[in-house]
Amino acid sequence: MKSQDLIALEELYGAQNYRPLDVVVQTAQGVWVTDVDGKKYLDCLAAYSAVNQGHCHPKIYEAFVEQARHVTLTSRAFRNDQLPLLYKKLHELTGYDMSLPMNSGAEAVETAIKTARRWGYDVKGIPENQAEIVVASGNFHGRTTTIVGFSDDPSSFKGFGPYCTEAFPMHEYGNIEDLKTKINQNTCGILIEPIQGEGGVVIPPEGYLKAVEEICRENDILFICDEIQAGLGRSGKLFAHYYENVRPDIVIIGKALSGGFYPVSAILADRHILRVIKPGEHGSTFGGNPLAAAVAVRALEVMEEEHLIERSAELGEHFAAGLRAIPSPYITHVRARGLWIGLVLDTGARPICEALKREGILCKDTHENIIRFAPPLVITKEEIDWALERIKDVLTTK
């Protein structure tokens, strides 16, 4: 079937909860995808950083197939031989004592919320049902009803209430003085993204994360860092909070944790925090299954073996510098950390993304006037230069 036929079927039978560019991907390898009509595109979104290791990475594929030959799913009522290896790998890589695996990023955020609340009641002594978690303006942590209830983006929350907004007071992202006004004796956690991805790669002021950490230590509050997109190399470091040398109490990870082969997420924390969750109090049918664990371990090994974090830092600087050098009247500024770039325009971003698609580049618009560039971390300097030529052509001839 041709692209127009498949698009027509999707429009007829599928819920319209996305507004995708009209490219129908059929195959993918590394940083390149090919549509059903045979046209190749450079993927500059990487499935929202889920395929940091590149599409269909052969080593992760081998692990996926090999594990699928043995067992894919066992109930957590029993143990399996792969999950302990993932626990050990995450401990060795991150330094946190323990982890709790789930599936989607939103599930991991919910897990962090539940853990922080239970810690607040059992350890801090907050009165029952009074625990509060301070969040930030411009946040994006997922799509569950709890999470959209503390969003300030109407497209996320409008029409899905009622919400328990008093449980999630909001401060202005990057504003420490405002954050201080939202804290009280019932505050059990502060939940932030070290870089806001959905907001257009928004980088907070220098010193913000360090100040958040200090506030948490002074007030017996858990510092919760959502690294689902920013983490595992995307920002040019293992975690984006490393830029300020802080150590959150809970780190939320997902997306690239499986290299795009399977939904895998987790929260990381030390023993004294995660021990508050007792048997039967939280779980998931698929979370921590042997297929997920085997794939996640191999995805993390690939990240290390191929030095993807270092590549992200080096090539991200090259990509961002190339964008800043484009003499376009439409570019306002460029925000970048590693291979995670927000190109801020003074014109609509969607038409630019559509024009770039015609030139063979796939990227994503957000908040009307921002384009996100986040290619797989296996991209080469030559491929970036290829993309920069076409981006320049589009932005100087619009």
Active-site pick, 35, 64, 140, 365: 140
Q: Backbone phi, then psi, for 388, in 5-degree steps?
A: -60, -40
Is 180 an annotated catalytic residue?
A: no
Our CA angle for 135, 138, 142, nearest 5°, is 75
Q: Which tokens hold the place of 318?
A: 């090259």
Tell me the HSE value of 362 on the side-chain side, using a 13 A CA sphere.
23
- Identify the CA nearest to 10 among candidates 27, 24, 31: 24
Peptide bond into 162 cis (omega under 30): yes
Q: One of 168, 255, 286, 373 is an active-site residue; which one?
A: 255
Alpha-helix runs per DSSP H in 256-307: 271-274, 290-305
152 is catalytic: no
Active-site annotation holds for 226: yes
Q: CB–CB of 98/277 below 8 Å?
A: no
Spot the catalytic one: 226, 237, 364, 365.
Answer: 226
The whole-angstrom separation of Cα 325 and Cα 392 is: 9
Q: How far apart are CA 151 and CA 135, in angstroms?
A: 9
By annotation, the residues acting in catalysis are 140, 226, 255
